Structure 1
Amino acid sequence: MGRKGSGMAVRPKTCRARRLRRDSTDAERLLWRALRELRLPVNVRRQHPIGPYVADFAVPACRLVIELDGGQHASAVEADAERTAALNARGYRVIRFWNNEVLGNLEGVLTVIVAEIGRSVGFPTSP
């Protein structure tokens, strides 16, 4: 699989990440917009491939992954724990929020994220 005329192969995870970005949930779109508006001193990546996984959001400079879980995740606790363990083994910290947390308490979610990033890069922890 490749880009037309580029001569470069596109990895399946990259294609999946692009599709996930295009088909993002309301909570993912809201959080992405809010994170961009904060103008953090680090790059936040949306639908970022890490090993066999695609993280909802990643801050590579801080080795931080931010995952948003919807209602379907209530029965996927074991799979989420396995995914978190695999990301931890790659050196990433993982923080998780429910979609309804993002939609109903965006300020609180941003406070937690900014505090996590602040611990890594040493900047004030209020959004």
Structure 2
Amino acid sequence: MVSTSIRRATAKRLRADTTPHERILWRALRELPTDGTHFRRQAPIGPYVVDFFCPAKRLIIELDGGHHNEAETAQRDQERQGWLEREGYRVIRFWNSEITAHLNAVMERIYVELYGARDAEAVRLKHLRRR
């Protein structure tokens, strides 16, 4: 497994080099009208660094560009997602084009993942640290 310091350094570098689509989603996530919703970006989890992570709901959001259509990359994504799901995380994926063309629908899907329904009342989320 990759050391913690290497994963943290990688996450820091990725935060500094965000893609335009990650910046758009990050701004939208920060404006979610919900009390207590907290997302981290480029968060190290196990041997991976995920794009966005809500610890309180163990929800991971991944953005995929066109290179994720390639067989080798798609296989790595599938293995990575399988590992994260076995560890108890929920992973949702969006294509970069969805961020550009359908940001409201993306945000609605994220809201539903957080609270269970589109019209559900937002409740304060609490992050319980696992030991």
State the TM-score bracket (shorter-chain normalisation): 0.7 to 0.9
Divergent runs of 4+, >4 A: none
Structure 2 CA distance for aligned equivalents of residues 44 and 111 of structure 1:
16
1:100-115 aligned at under 5 Å gives the runs 100-115=97-112
Structure 1 CA distance for aligned equivalents of residues 92 and 74 of structure 2:
14
Q: Match for 1:83: what amino acid?
A: R
In structure 1, the gaps of 5 or more residues are 1-9
Aligned to 1:34: 28
- The Cα shift of 1:124 comes to 2.9
In structure 2, the gaps of 5 or more residues are 123-131
The alignment-based identity, stated in percent, is 50
Aligned to 2:50: 55
Q: Residue 21 of structure 1 is aligned with which of 15, 28, 43?
A: 15
Q: What is the count of residue pairs matched by the alignment?
A: 114
Q: Residue 93 of structure 2 is aligned with which of 93, 96, 105?
A: 96
Q: What is the Cα-based RMSD across aligned positions, in Å?
A: 1.6
Q: Match for 2:69: what amino acid?
A: A
- The Cα shift of 1:58 comes to 0.5
Stretch moving more, 96-105 or 34-43? 34-43
- The Cα shift of 1:20 comes to 0.5
- The Cα shift of 1:17 comes to 0.4
Stretch moving more, 69-78 or 35-44? 35-44
Please identify which structure carries the higher helix content: 1
- The Cα shift of 1:115 comes to 0.5
Is it true that 1:70 corresponds to 2:65 in the alignment? yes
